Structure 1
Amino acid sequence: MGRTEVLHELVARSADRSRQAAAVRQGELELTYGELQALAVQFAAELACAGVGEGQVVALDLPGNVRMIAAMLATGILGGAFLPLDQRDPVARQAALGADFAAAALVTEDAVHATGAAARLDGRPAYVTYTAGSAERPRAVVTGQRVAVDHVEAALHEYRLRPGDRQLQFTPPGSGLAVEEVFTTLASGATLVLRDADFGYEDVADFLRLADERALTVLTLPTGLCEEFGGELARRPKLLLPRGLRLLVAGGEPASAQACAAWQAAARDAGFRIVNSTGPSDCAAERPLSLLR
């Protein structure tokens, strides 16, 4: 089999290998790989009817849910680039995002909204994210398919993800780290566990209880939260990590030795590992959006 060049094909291969395995779980809702793939194909047909084609951007105004995952895959099937919007962003930032390009469609919880825009990105774009920047002037980063696939495959090798793993999709959808969470999980045949309405926590004890209830084996957390929780774990040495949790990925800046030591001391599994990662958008060369009209 030839080398995979696009993200959605990594997921399609998982679906081909194990169509009945659990792909996505959110609360009581669970989709198998076969069901997720069928939903993505159906969604792609809906986007095509809205005028989405190769190189065009699809803005996703969605929370981290099954519809978001299906829309990511569907956009890739059509050769487009998805732009996950962070619903926590202020209105000024949202307006700044829209000023950079003309999305062919906007996907919300209720519908696919066609815009009639014909602008296309050059090359083979996978998705668009934005640097934190200021609320008024965030900067666009286009991540191409080849860069995205290379990053996911490298992460799979480093994280040793496998069928049977359960990874939490914790990071806000608008970040490159969230893309890593989604595609490393689904490319490995593991289960992506989406945060549901009950996933609220006040401290590390609450968070670890929720992780245990969902039988998580892999966690990806922003480095700042890893540090915060590491400090709490150091102050509460009787707290232990859930059984089966074998990997913590700290996304962003390197986690401190003190925080890593606290997480390690709380681990039940002698094989527990901590890996520092930056998302594929950070690894890609940043460039402004190049539009072909």
Structure 2
Amino acid sequence: LSDLELLSDTEKHQLLHDWNNTGHQLPDQTLPQLFETQAARTPEAVAVVHGQTSLTYRELDARANQLAHHLRHRGVSAGTLVGVCAERGPELIVGLLGILKSGGAYVPLDPEHPAPRLDFMLRDTEASLVLVQSNLRDRLSGYGGDLVDLEPARQAHDARPEVDPARVAGPDDLAYVIYTSGSTGAPKGVQVEHGSVVNYLEFMRDFTRLEPDDVVAQTSPISFDMFVYECWLPLSTGARLVVIEKNVLLNPDSFAEAIRDQKISVVRMTASLFNQHLTEYPELASGLRVIAYGGEAVERSVADRVIAGPHAPEMVLHTYGPTETTVSSVVCAVTGDTPESRTMPIGRPVANTRVYVVDRFGKPTPIGVP
């Protein structure tokens, strides 16, 4: 019975080709090159804000370049895995961008994770060097490699050139390695290349119509791949990134105040936080242009109230995808016309991505058949 063909030729063509016609020409660039283009275009625009501290694109570019030259001097090149353990803020962004500009790939080490997990990640990646904030060194006490303090390291590389280092990494080289829980419970490192990140960012920039006057909230820890969206999408578009502390994010009143004060226009949340905040505090969406959520199912009733309410943003996005597919592989723009269901549809594939619904025998299922 499993050999019986349930699809007509027309349905098969629609499923396999029409709905997966996602081919798109990509720029032959790396993640830091996208940033450098913006830094050259609007050097005095504010790139990162954290409390009372801010960096312009020129300042962020110069500091990251100095760090990149310093890392090159320490032996970092294309494909070198460099750990980074830092709290939210400009120093973290400088560290990540400096690693990428040096040609290396960053391994985010969340300081809130248990020390044994951090030790495992460092052993598994065989990272020979880790950038760390001085107050977090004790989180890596079991690490036997080279620890470079992020703040004091600036003194060591302040004399380094502020110009872009020579390019050594290309689109096929690694940009980062993010660890997930893994299906067996053991952390699993997912390696993501520059080309995959650039493809995702280019698609999301066009899909959300992100512009340089947008302000994007950075709410996720560095160990979540949502951080890639929140950090690199604005910095590759010329927009502003505003760092939101965890305690502010979890308090809807404080979060709404931050959105108002910083004129934030784009927010991405976990589905559970979307359900909670937009149920208890629907006016939190006021002034936002884009709200994106993902990670798990959102209550359909909550999303419907948001898009039909007086504070409805221009765009509500449901995103889905495993870390292996670079943040999100499918996106759904939620509107009043979205088909009725208990949860939201997961949407259509991003650029240069194909998605199929198959049965347990690996065969495409007919349209509307689970």
Query: Do both proteins adopt the same fold according to a TM-score greater than 0.5, normalized to the shorter chain?
Result: yes
Other-structure match for 2:207: 158
CA distance in 2, matches of 1:283, 1:134: 16
RMSD: 2.8
Other-structure match for 1:251: 294
Q: Does 1:200 align with 2:252?
A: no
One-letter identity of the residue aligned with 1:85? L
Report the CA distance between 1:71 and its aligned residue: 1.5
Other-structure match for 1:236: none
Q: Does 1:275 align with 2:305?
A: no
DSSP 3-state at the match of 2:49: strand
Other-structure match for 1:58: 82
DSSP 3-state at the match of 1:219: strand
CA deviation profile, 1:229-265 (whole Å, cap 9, x unmatched):
23324xxxxx523653111010323433212123334
One-letter identity of the residue aligned with 1:109? Q
CA distance in 1, matches of 2:261, 2:326: 36
Cα distance change, pair 98–164 in 1 and its aligned pair in 2 (3 A): same
CA distance in 2, matches of 1:188, 1:108: 28
Contact preservation (8 Å) 1:181, 1:220: yes
Other-structure match for 2:129: 105
Report the CA distance between 1:227 and its aligned residue: 1.6
CA distance in 2, matches of 1:153, 1:256: 29
Other-structure match for 1:36: 60
Report the CA distance between 1:87 and its aligned residue: 1.2
Other-structure match for 1:264: 307
Report the CA distance between 1:11 and its aligned residue: 0.7
Q: Does 1:148 align with 2:197?
A: yes
Unaligned runs of 5+ in 2: 1-25, 138-142, 148-171, 328-370
Which of these residues, 220, 230, 248, is aligned with residue 268 of structure 2?
220
Other-structure match for 1:186: 235
Contact preservation (8 Å) 1:209, 1:242: no
Cα distance change, pair 265–125 in 1 and its aligned pair in 2 (3 A): same
Report the CA distance between 1:91 and its aligned residue: 1.7
CA deviation profile, 1:198-250 (whole Å, cap 9, x unmatched):
x53664233212221221110011112112223324xxxxx523653111010
CA distance in 1, matches of 2:235, 2:196: 17
CA deviation profile, 1:130-162 (whole Å, cap 9, x unmatched):
113489720110001111110111111111111
CA distance in 1, matches of 2:294, 2:71: 32
CA distance in 1, matches of 2:144, 2:205: 36
CA distance in 1, matches of 2:289, 2:324: 25
Paired residues, number: 272
Unaligned runs of 5+ in 1: 118-122, 234-238, 286-293
Contact preservation (8 Å) 1:80, 1:125: yes
Query: Which fold has the larger relative contact order, with Cα–Cα distance below 8 Å and residues 6 or more apart in sequence?
Result: 1
CA distance in 2, matches of 1:230, 1:284: 27
1:81-120 mapped onto 2 (5 Å cutoff) = 81-110=105-134, 115=145
TM-score (norm 2): 0.67
Report the CA distance between 1:128 and its aligned residue: 0.5
One-letter identity of the residue aligned with 1:174? S
Contact preservation (8 Å) 2:80, 2:104: yes
Report the CA distance between 1:49 and its aligned residue: 2.5
CA distance in 2, matches of 1:279, 1:86: 21
Which of these residues, 26, 29, 36, is aligned with residue 5 of structure 1?
29
Q: Does 1:76 align with 2:106?
A: no
Based on CA coordinates, which of the two structures has the bigger radius of gyration? Answer: 2
CA distance in 2, matches of 1:218, 1:76: 25
Contact preservation (8 Å) 2:48, 2:54: yes
DSSP 3-state at the match of 1:174: coil
Cα distance change, pair 114–165 in 1 and its aligned pair in 2 (3 A): farther
One-letter identity of the residue aligned with 2:306? W
Other-structure match for 2:187: 138
Runs of 4+ that moved beyond 4 A? 111-114
One-letter identity of the residue aligned with 2:60? L
